[in-house]
Chains A and B, each alone.
Chain A
Amino acid sequence: MFHSETGVFKTSYAADMALFPLPVARWAIAGLAALFVGVVPLMFTPYLMTLLNLVLIAVVGAIGLGILTGYTGQISIGHGGFMSVGAYTAANLIVRLGLPFWLAIPAGGLMAALIGIVVGIPSLRIKGIYLAVATLASQFIIEWTINHVTWISGGIEASIQVPPPSVFGWKLQSPVQLYFFLLFFAVLAIVATLNLMRSRIGRAFIAIRDQDIAAEIIGIDIFRYKLYAFAISSFYAGVTGVLYTYYLGIANYEQFGIDVSINYLAMIIIGGLGSVLGAVLGAAFITILPEATRLFLTDFGGALFSPDTIRRLVPNLTLILFGGLIIFFLIVEPEGLNRLWRNIRNYFRFWPFSY
């Protein structure tokens, strides 16, 4: 992610293959860690903490979708469905069996992975837009099932209340407490994915995306690896669902509708497909955008519109911005925000010899 090659020589393969091979990068990581662990929780208002918490949850989901769509080239418009599978699995286990978070979260992820594998089966035969439609169908089937099977959804308005996660007997309730909880999982997702993508399985995913015939010829069992990608990606989605459930204190399928599936696609497209950093940037951008639009309009739109109009305007304006940005990034800058970051980085890469 961070590079400055001036005056650095790598001597062993292990060092050359390290996640952050350069000292500069390790310093930058340490700086970021200090910022997010020390400074942010002290400086941010509860409102900003809440917004940041939503970003952290979205980071996990966007990275997961990025593994499937960005790295393996298999589109999914059904990730909202996988999130709700995770959410309801965990909520039921928490409420009925009293499972702690460290069991409920992987359980939600695993159940979503299982469903994800089933949804991924058609990917052997169908590609592109047809696969998109199949995953979209799964979204509706999952929504319908959760809504109609009261054994899963608990009856009243298909929602299940869950207690906050507790660590060593501490209940995590305030935005700052939840922040550290969510930060842990976001960092875990980032590191796990960076590791995955620099080893055998991750390379195979990219190979399938770039050249499926050649991938098969060098011995990659395409079907198996597509299913791996679906499983891993929906595991992340399931975990995202559980985290969101903890954040809200309630599991509700309406929180994971088709609009959520599309938002997550927007995140990875705008952030830059096939990049973990891109997914992180996209998750932050798409989560903050509606809030930024709202704040902007209430601060500056008052002269033109009544508060009532503004309230109705915000969701529509956000949608227009989403649509416009997706089209912009698909056509003009397919590498997304990640590319903008790279341009900045490349400038400093050989700093101080950047001419």
Chain B
Amino acid sequence: MATNAIEAIAGERRRVQLAVSGVSKHFGGLCAVEDVSLSVAAGSITSIIGPNGAGKTSLLNMISGVYKPDTGTITLEGRDITRARPSEVAALGVARTFQNIALFGGMTVLDNIMLGRHVRMKSGILSSVIYWGLAQREEVAHRARVEELIEFLQLQDLRKQPTSALAYGLRKRVELGRALALDPKVLLLDEPMGGMNQEEKEDMARYILDVNGAWGTTIILIEHDMAVVMDISDRVAVFDRGRKIADGTPGEVQRDRAVIAAYLGTRQERAEAAE
């Protein structure tokens, strides 16, 4: 009985939630992503690593609908989202952050995170204009959820600050908050620790693990810091020049000859592996 339950949970965790298959994207003559497939299990943390220009961000852009792939398909829980617009992908429960933070600079931390709840709210033009009644009840209810996130991310003192006035690491945290406000099933994080100091990185890693642990959110993460990647990931996919060259558990990837040759190892190890 107990083992059955555990197996059921394990099965649930292995269920493929997001499947990318045979996806390519060209820009002019440049092949940014070439025939990439990736299947992401529900509730897992998958990291994508690889040198700059490897096509990691382009892959996230295709998943979130910003770029349309030239070939291949992307499905979310069996539903084809290859050609879906970004707003449609978001409405299906996929949230993301950007490599170069894309907050609404003039707005407060609070308003940025409230905006993250856009797809969860319903007020139309008429009820907004009248406000008292429907729209107000909705604002207050969603404000409560946003306050939970503000507390979770320890942004209480900065609520009413415009985000443009915040330090870099804090802006990254607010952007995470805005993405979380969507109550996402799948969270795409593009270098969430880029440009951070060690302490900020540790905080961010903890938030990511907490989100994954507490809400079972599936996370796809692009990150350069190998210590963090190997520490928190269930799976690691390695990209190089538009191709996926390896994919497996952190341990498997670290032992992979192609990965060592292209990316991970010391100069000597790379030379040995390449022979």
The residues of A with any CB-CB pair to B shorter than 8 Å are 13-14, 17, 192, 195-196, 198-204, 206-207, 210-211, 213-222, 228, 232
Contact = CB atoms under 8 A, between A and B. Distances in A.
Contact of B104 (A211, A222, A232): A211
A201 B125 contact: yes
A210 B111 CA distance: 13
Nearest to A208: B104
Interface stretch (B112-120, B218-226, B245-253): B112-120
Contacts of A196: 125, 128-129
Contacts of B105: 210-211
A232 B179 CA distance: 29
11 contacts: A14-B136, A195-B128, A195-B135, A199-B123, A200-B122, A201-B125, A215-B115, A218-B178, A219-B91, A219-B182, A221-B85
Interface residues of B, number: 42
B103 A214 contact: yes
B151 to A, nearest CB: 13
B271 interface: no
A200 B104 contact: no
A314 B162 CA distance: 44
Given A195-B129, A203-B115, A222-B87, A217 B64 contact: yes
A192 B122 CA distance: 18
Interface in B31-88: 64, 66, 85-87
Interface stretch (B12-20, B139-147, B261-269): B139-147
**Residue from B95, B102, B105, B115 with most neighbouring chain A CB atoms (10 Å):** B115
A200 B118 contact: yes
A218 B147 contact: no
Contacts of A199: 123, 128, 131, 135, 138-139
B104 A210 contact: yes
Given A17-B143, A195-B130, A210-B104, A217 B125 contact: no
A124 B167 CA distance: 34
A17 B91 contact: no
B118 A219 contact: yes
Given A13-B147, A195-B135, A214-B103, A200 B128 contact: yes
Given A14-B140, A17-B143, A216 B87 contact: yes
B69 to A, nearest CB: 17
A222 B136 CA distance: 24
Given A203-B114, A207-B104, A213-B102, A220 B128 contact: no
Interface in B217-241: none
A202 B119 CA distance: 14
B106 interface: yes
B129 A200 contact: no
Given A200-B121, A210-B107, A13 B87 contact: no
A217 B135 CA distance: 23
